[in-house]
Structure 1
Amino acid sequence: MKQIWTLGDLADAAQGRLTGAERASPVTGISIDTRTLLPNDAFFAVVGVSMDGHRFVPNALAAGAAAAVVSHGEAERAIVVDDVLAALERVGVAARARLEPATPVIAITGSVGKTGTKEMLRLAFSAEGEVHASAASYNNHWGVPLSLARMPADVDAAIFEIGMNHAGEITPLTKMVRPTIAIITTVAAVHLEFFDSVAGIADAKAEIFAGLEEGGVAIIPADNDHTARLAAAAEAMGAEVVTFGVGGDVSLTSLDADGAAVADVFGETIVFELADPAPHVANNALAVLAALSVAGWNVDAGAEALREWSAPKGRGRRVRLRPAGGEAVMLDDCFNANPSSTGAAIATLGRVPAARRIAILGDMRELGPSASDLHRGLTPLLVDADVRIVHTVGEMTKHLRDALPFEMRGLHAATAAELVTQLPEVEPGDAILVKGSKAVGLGAVVEAIEERYGLNNV
């Protein structure tokens, strides 16, 4: 593993006191979880809401950790600090400060599409250099500093995902990242339980511009209801504004059913391919092409790399099934759900050639007082997509079920576990969408379908 710190440099960055180890000792990773810790990682014993990482310090050291970063207790090899999470934040800030000034640093947020677009950015920028990017969805108050702290000093580009549930959460994170490019994928009705309006969500997303470096670029959707609001916020921070999507500086000229795409990138024609031809995927790819262009990187090379992108598990992944000797497909999109992402997923289902389209939908959470109406509002989308059967899971999807034409109503279950016990049959020619908020647990339904009908079990 590549050395990213010495213990001495790490202790200095954390503003801590090193004990029981040599300053020159190598650190090849940063960990907050002993289950995934590797030898020579530094283990940060973060104190969480329900768990104190100091309990696992002996496990970390026994597993070969270079040292444990602690605020109390005793450890054989330790960096002693005042507060472990604050120390991790300081290390993240120090890691960012080590980068060359010309290094593109990209921060990305949005109501939907953050993680998928981040992975597209990783692929596209990797076509020309070494890229560091957030792992998984490490986008919160510990995930962002952890991702920064893990960053080597000599990368050619860095990409960070930043999320939020409440106003004010993005500002401190973007100020740690100090992006040269900030991307907002979209603004939609998400987390309405914590906001008075979607305009308030737009303002919260626009906090990402507060951390932009001087001369930084804001990349925003051209065709969102809140585009003008986002642009004004970016310009107030001195940012150059670039738009993507319909009518934007970077726009889609064509997209066929096989994923062959043509884009206009500041007047230049770029031809590329996507394994997933969904329009919302292609739209996110436009933000990636915009970032490559404004960073001065090779847009053609980055666009070509996008053909390798595929949706990760739970985020639109396509799973081939073999029911009764035939073929079917499942769209595994159960990591999270809101009206915008669910609408996009239903539209994608509607474009999949199928003898029968089936939707398994779970509750969309954090929608506040309008939740019942927003669930009912999915009905015309399902009808337009020619969905034959809709199975529902949870309390709020009862409102959707009641609004559906009688012949479209499938099974209803209070929980995902209950639906697993009465798993819907899959037939040759079916296309099945599984979509719901993460807390509903529809991943169990996906696993059950894949276990029964997946290619590895035929």
Structure 2
Amino acid sequence: MNAIQPSLHHALHSWPVDARDALPLALWDAASISAATGGVASNQFQAAGVEMDSRDVRPGDLFVALKGDAMDGHRFIPQAFAKGAVAAITDRPIDFPHVLVRDTTQALHDLAHAARDRSDAVRIAVTGSVGKTGVKEAIFNSLDRVGRGAAHRSVRSYNNHVGVPLSLARMPARARYGVFEMGMNHAGEIAPLSAHVRPNVALITTIAPAHIENLGSIEAIADEKAQIFTGLVDGGTAVIPADTEMADRLIGHARALGVKTVTFGRSENADVRLLDAIRQPHGGALITTDLGDTRLCYTIAEPGEHWIGNSLGVMVAVRAAGGDLASAGLAMAEMGGLKGRGARFQIAANGGKVLLIDESYNANPASMRATLASLGQTPATRRIAVLGTMGELGDFADKFHRQLAAPLAEAKIDHAILVGEGMRALAAQLGKGTPDSLGFAPSFTHCDDADQAILALEEFGMTGGDAVLVKGSNFMGLGRLVSHFTSAQK
């Protein structure tokens, strides 16, 4: 025992020094919040998290009492403290520990900027018409795999004018990477989000007619998404999908800002190009890609053609952020679907198990086509699609819903349950009974809402070997259908 003590003593004194060791362990304390916001703290405290919704507060959180047009977070301060909040940011004195500021929304922005500036984390911003949440999660998993806790990301779909600064304010000082999703419904929304984050890497997944009701054209959508490049730091990288028809437009925006561009996709002109994709029997694929200076082979667990392209964008972003590509490959090989965005369930039915694919959170014409194509490649006795109305299509709604008839036939969908007013156009198209070139026309049922869809699926009857896709815009509430059938298995 005595013989090894000197070497142990030396080892303890030789522990490697990291500059992050000097950074605080607590996410925020009263003094740092006051310094960031210019506010006045009533008490000394330390906070482990930041929350704006009193229902989601966890012990140790800082509650930010935001004020909106229809709601004032100050009304919910007692509930926040009852759930374990240690302090609040408020614009009026309260009988709980707090930091008093002039404007709580501005204070949240100030806190976000302070979190950004105190950390040397490499920041990655992700937007796009389709797939941004999944890609954000894949980049996070790739970067966090090297060292648990090394990466931070926005949770859920916190991608708007409140969610992005909240996600930034939650970033620990010791984080090495931060991954932030950015969404929009109208013109002028992306640039302020990018200005908050000031990313080192900005990735666009693809451009498709999502929110076309508000923007009017696919070109306008591309122009708005390209505003993510405006916040890039000096030396930052714009990651652009080469296969979209808007690729040259996106590249033009990036080059006008003087930032580095890296394109990815199947296109021969792509900087990072797909060489081969061998689909696996139960979903996913083995990918071979040319990175320009080297080739890389890796496996993805997520099924579907869209994930093949997404994985290239992930690899480009990870490389641009200084991450490890081998770890990224392992992360994507293990990644499962997210709730409402590709989660897969095996549910019991007569004759065996039924595969239920949950895509109930979001839908637009491009994602509908992609997920229907993926369902068509899924081994199954029968393929059933429960499709909800796609929102924010405006005057284009009937056209885009009717156009789903072709991908339904191409995927050899045996039965479609169409849900919501917008799906009447597709029902009318399918009602014409026009088969595809191979003589295939799916049967269908139209329902008004999710509750009717549950009854329709029960009446149709699922049997072992079936594969069921549930997809629609979130306002259709098809998550209730997923919960109905999956909860019965518990």
Please, what TM-score do these two structures have when normalized by structure 1?
0.95
CA offset digits 1:82-141 (Å, max 9, x no partner): 1111110110011101122xx321000000101000000011111224001111111001
Query: How do 1:97-108 residues align onto structure 2 when only pairs under 5 Å count?
Result: 97-100=117-120, 103-108=121-126
2:415 is aligned to 389
CA offset digits 1:362-410 (Å, max 9, x no partner): 1001001011011000101110111111111101101101111546232
Residues 12 and 235 (structure 1 numbering): CA distance in 2 closer, same or farther, change over 3 Å? same
Query: How do 1:199-238 residues align onto structure 2 when only pairs under 5 Å count?
Result: 199-238=219-258
8 Å Cα contact 2:412/2:442 also seen in 1: no
CA offset at residue 255 of structure 1? 2.2
The 2-side partners of 1:149 and 1:250 are apart by 33
Is the aligned partner of 1:68 residue 2:88?
yes
Q: Which runs of 4+ in 1 moved over 6 A?
A: none
CA offset at residue 292 of structure 1? 1.9
8 Å Cα contact 2:126/2:205 also seen in 1: yes
Higher deviation after alignment, 134-143 or 420-429: 420-429
CA offset at residue 251 of structure 1? 2.4
8 Å Cα contact 1:115/1:137 also seen in 2: yes
8 Å Cα contact 1:168/1:204 also seen in 2: yes
Residues 41 and 50 (structure 1 numbering): CA distance in 2 closer, same or farther, change over 3 Å? same
Size of the aligned set, in residue pairs, is 449
The 2-side partners of 1:447 and 1:153 are apart by 38
Partner letter of residue 475 of structure 2? A
2:278 is aligned to 256
8 Å Cα contact 1:338/1:364 also seen in 2: yes
Partner letter of residue 351 of structure 1? Q
- The one of 108, 130, 148 equivalent to 1:112 is 130
CA offset digits 1:277-315 (Å, max 9, x no partner): 322112111111111222232212222222121110110
- For the pair shown, which has the larger CA radius of gyration, 1 or 2? 2
Structure 2: 5+ residue runs without aligned partners? 1-23, 434-440
Higher deviation after alignment, 364-373 or 413-422: 413-422
2:33 is aligned to 10
Partner letter of residue 451 of structure 1? S
CA offset digits 1:145-195 (Å, max 9, x no partner): 100001111111111001100010011110010000000000100111101
2:186 is aligned to 166
The 2-side partners of 1:442 and 1:201 are apart by 27
The 2-side partners of 1:27 and 1:273 are apart by 40
Partner letter of residue 463 of structure 2? E
Query: How do 1:307-456 residues align onto structure 2 when only pairs under 5 Å count?
Result: 307-404=333-430, 406=433, 408-424=442-458, 425-452=461-488, 454=489, 456=490
CA offset digits 1:54-91 (Å, max 9, x no partner): 01112223433221111135232111111111110110
The 1-side partners of 2:214 and 2:119 are apart by 36
CA RMSD across the alignment: 1.6
**Between the two proteins, what is the percent identity of the paired residues?**
40
Secondary structure of 2:33 counterpart: helix
8 Å Cα contact 2:417/2:457 also seen in 1: no
Is the aligned partner of 1:85 residue 2:128?
no
Residues 217 and 374 (structure 1 numbering): CA distance in 2 closer, same or farther, change over 3 Å? same
Secondary structure of 1:145 counterpart: helix
Is the aligned partner of 1:123 residue 2:141?
yes
1:53 is aligned to 73
The 1-side partners of 2:54 and 2:191 are apart by 30
The 2-side partners of 1:44 and 1:368 are apart by 36
The 2-side partners of 1:352 and 1:222 are apart by 27
Please, what TM-score do these two structures have when normalized by structure 2?
0.89
- The one of 43, 46, 52 equivalent to 2:63 is 43
Higher deviation after alignment, 274-283 or 191-200: 274-283
The 2-side partners of 1:356 and 1:325 are apart by 13
CA offset digits 1:12-70 (Å, max 9, x no partner): 21221111x12xx2121111122222222111011234321101112223433221111
The 1-side partners of 2:52 and 2:342 are apart by 29
Secondary structure of 1:271 counterpart: strand
Secondary structure of 2:56 counterpart: coil
The 2-side partners of 1:402 and 1:114 are apart by 32
8 Å Cα contact 1:68/1:75 also seen in 2: no
Residues 382 and 87 (structure 1 numbering): CA distance in 2 closer, same or farther, change over 3 Å? same
CA offset at residue 201 of structure 1? 0.3
2:177 is aligned to 157
8 Å Cα contact 1:255/1:277 also seen in 2: no
Structure 1: 5+ residue runs without aligned partners? none
The 2-side partners of 1:254 and 1:304 are apart by 18
1:197 is aligned to 217
Partner letter of residue 484 of structure 2? A
CA offset at residue 2 of structure 1? 4.9
Higher deviation after alignment, 170-179 or 39-48: 39-48
Higher deviation after alignment, 265-274 or 86-95: 265-274
Partner letter of residue 163 of structure 2? G
The 2-side partners of 1:298 and 1:316 are apart by 26
Secondary structure of 1:327 counterpart: strand
The 2-side partners of 1:143 and 1:237 are apart by 26
The 1-side partners of 2:471 and 2:346 are apart by 17
Secondary structure of 1:189 counterpart: coil
The 1-side partners of 2:484 and 2:445 are apart by 16
Partner letter of residue 343 of structure 1? R
The 1-side partners of 2:478 and 2:96 are apart by 43
